[in-house]
Structure 1
Amino acid sequence: MTINPILFPERSVWETLLTKSSFYTFFQTYDWMSLWILHFGRSAEVWEVKDENKTIGIIPLLKESDHYSLIPTSTVLNGQQVSDYGELIIEKGREKEVIKQVIGERLKVKDKKIILNFIREDSAILPVFKDLGVHAEEQDMAPYVVLPHTFDEYLSILSRHSRHELRRKTRRFEESGAEFAEFVGSDRQIESFFQLMEFDEKKKSFLTSEMKLFFKEIIHTFYNKKEANILFIEAEGKLIAGIILFYFRDEVLLYNSGFDPDYFHLSPGLMVVTQAIKDSIEKKKKVFDFLRGNERYKYDLGGVDRKLYRIRF
Structure 2
Amino acid sequence: MEEAIREYYTQSEKWHSDIYTSISVKHPDIIIKAVKNFNSILNLNDQWNDVVLNSSSATIYQTFEWLYNWWNYFAASKSNSPHILLISSSGKLIGIAPFYIQSYTFGGFIIHRQLKLIGCGLKSGTFLSNAIEENGVSDYLDIIALNNYEKKVADAVVSYLSEYKNLFNEIDFQNVSEGSFIIKWLLPQLQIKNFRAQITKTDACPRLTVPRSIDIYLGSLKASTRRKFRQIQRQTEKYSDIEIIKVCDTNFLNSIQTLKHLHQSRWNELGHLGLFADKRFEEFIIHVCKIFFNKGWLWFKEAKFNNKIIATRMAYQFKDRIYDYLSGFDHKHFPAFFRPGMALIFTMIDDAISHNYGTVDFLRGTEEYKYEFSSDEHNNYDLIIIQPDSVFVIRKVFFYFLKTRMRLMFRVKTETAIIKLQIGKHGKIMFLFSYFRFCLSRLRVSSTKNKRIYFKEEKIQEPQSNIILQKQATRKNKNSRQQRIVKSVVHSLQHGGSEDELPTVKNKL
Which has the greater radius of gyration? 2
Q: Normalising to structure 1: TM-score of the pair?
A: 0.88
Unaligned segments of structure 1, at least 5 residues? none
- Please, which of 64, 83, 90 is the counterpart of residue 145 of structure 2? 90
Q: 1:165 to 1:188 in 2, by over 3 A?
A: closer
Matched, 1:48 2:85: yes
Residue 274 (structure 1) shift: 1.2
Q: Does the aligned pair in 2 maintain the 1:157–1:302 contact within 8 Å?
A: no
Residue 14 (structure 1) shift: 2.1
1:71 counterpart residue number: 118
1:116 counterpart residue number: 173
Q: Give the whole-Å Cα distance in 1 for the aligned partners of 2:202 and 2:164.
A: 22
1:181 counterpart residue number: 245
Q: 1:213 to 1:51 in 2, by over 3 A?
A: closer
Q: 1:258 to 1:23 in 2, by over 3 A?
A: same
Q: Does the aligned pair in 2 maintain the 1:4–1:49 contact within 8 Å?
A: yes
Q: Give the whole-Å Cα distance in 2 for the aligned partners of 1:188 and 1:46.
A: 37
Q: 1:270 to 1:105 in 2, by over 3 A?
A: farther
Residue 245 (structure 1) shift: 1.5
Q: Does the aligned pair in 2 maintain the 1:106–1:113 contact within 8 Å?
A: no
Q: 1:108 to 1:90 in 2, by over 3 A?
A: farther
Residue 16 (structure 1) shift: 4.7
AA of the residue aligned to 1:140: D
Q: Give the whole-Å Cα distance in 1 for the aligned partners of 2:374 and 2:53.
A: 32
Once the two structures are superposed, the pairs formed by residues 1-313 of structure 1 within 5 Å of their partners are 1=23, 4-8=34-38, 9=41, 10-18=44-52, 21-42=55-76, 43-48=80-85, 50=87, 54=91, 56-64=94-102, 65=104, 66=112, 67-75=114-122, 77=127, 78-79=129-130, 80=132, 81-91=136-146, 92=149, 93-104=151-162, 107-109=165-167, 112-131=169-188, 132-133=190-191, 134-171=197-234, 177-185=241-249, 186=251, 187-199=253-265, 200-201=267-268, 202=272, 204=274, 206-263=276-333, 265=336, 266-313=338-385
1:174-232 C-alpha deviation (Å, 9 max, x unpaired): 55642112201221222112111111223545443322111111111111111113110
Q: 1:105 to 1:261 in 2, by over 3 A?
A: farther
AA of the residue aligned to 1:125: I
Name the one with the larger strand percent: 1
1:248-290 C-alpha deviation (Å, 9 max, x unpaired): 1121111100011214733221121111111221222221111
SS in 2 for 1:284: coil
Q: Does the aligned pair in 2 maintain the 1:6–1:48 contact within 8 Å?
A: no
AA of the residue aligned to 2:372: D
Residue 19 (structure 1) shift: 5.6
Q: Does the aligned pair in 1 maintain the 2:173–2:384 contact within 8 Å?
A: yes
Residue 51 (structure 1) shift: 6.4
SS in 2 for 1:271: helix
1:132-154 C-alpha deviation (Å, 9 max, x unpaired): 44343322121111111211111
Instruction: Compare 124-133 and 272-281 and name the one that shifted more.
Output: 124-133
Residue 53 (structure 1) shift: 7.7
Q: Does the aligned pair in 2 maintain the 1:70–1:114 contact within 8 Å?
A: no
Q: Give the whole-Å Cα distance in 2 for the aligned partners of 1:75 and 1:86.
A: 14
Unaligned segments of structure 2, at least 5 residues? 1-22, 24-31, 105-111, 192-196, 386-509
Residue 170 (structure 1) shift: 4.6
Q: Does the aligned pair in 1 maintain the 2:83–2:101 contact within 8 Å?
A: no
Q: Give the whole-Å Cα distance in 1 for the aligned partners of 2:181 and 2:353.
A: 28
Q: Give the whole-Å Cα distance in 2 for the aligned partners of 1:171 and 1:106.
A: 63
SS in 2 for 1:83: coil
Identity %: 23
Q: Does the aligned pair in 2 maintain the 1:85–1:119 contact within 8 Å?
A: yes
SS in 2 for 1:142: strand
Q: Give the whole-Å Cα distance in 1 for the aligned partners of 2:100 and 2:330.
A: 36
SS in 2 for 1:198: helix
AA of the residue aligned to 1:59: A
Residue 52 (structure 1) shift: 8.3
Q: Normalising to structure 2: TM-score of the pair?
A: 0.56
SS in 2 for 1:213: helix
Q: Does the aligned pair in 2 maintain the 1:178–1:235 contact within 8 Å?
A: yes
AA of the residue aligned to 1:63: I
Q: 1:68 to 1:100 in 2, by over 3 A?
A: closer
2:412 counterpart residue number: none
Q: Give the whole-Å Cα distance in 1 for the aligned partners of 2:299 and 2:56.
A: 28
AA of the residue aligned to 1:35: N
Q: Does the aligned pair in 2 maintain the 1:251–1:286 contact within 8 Å?
A: yes
Residue 87 (structure 1) shift: 0.5
- The CA RMSD measured in Å over matched residues stands at 2.7
Residue 15 (structure 1) shift: 3.1
Residue 125 (structure 1) shift: 2.3
SS in 2 for 1:306: strand
Q: Give the whole-Å Cα distance in 1 for the aligned partners of 2:299 and 2:359.
A: 16
Q: Does the aligned pair in 1 maintain the 2:75–2:122 contact within 8 Å?
A: no
AA of the residue aligned to 1:4: A
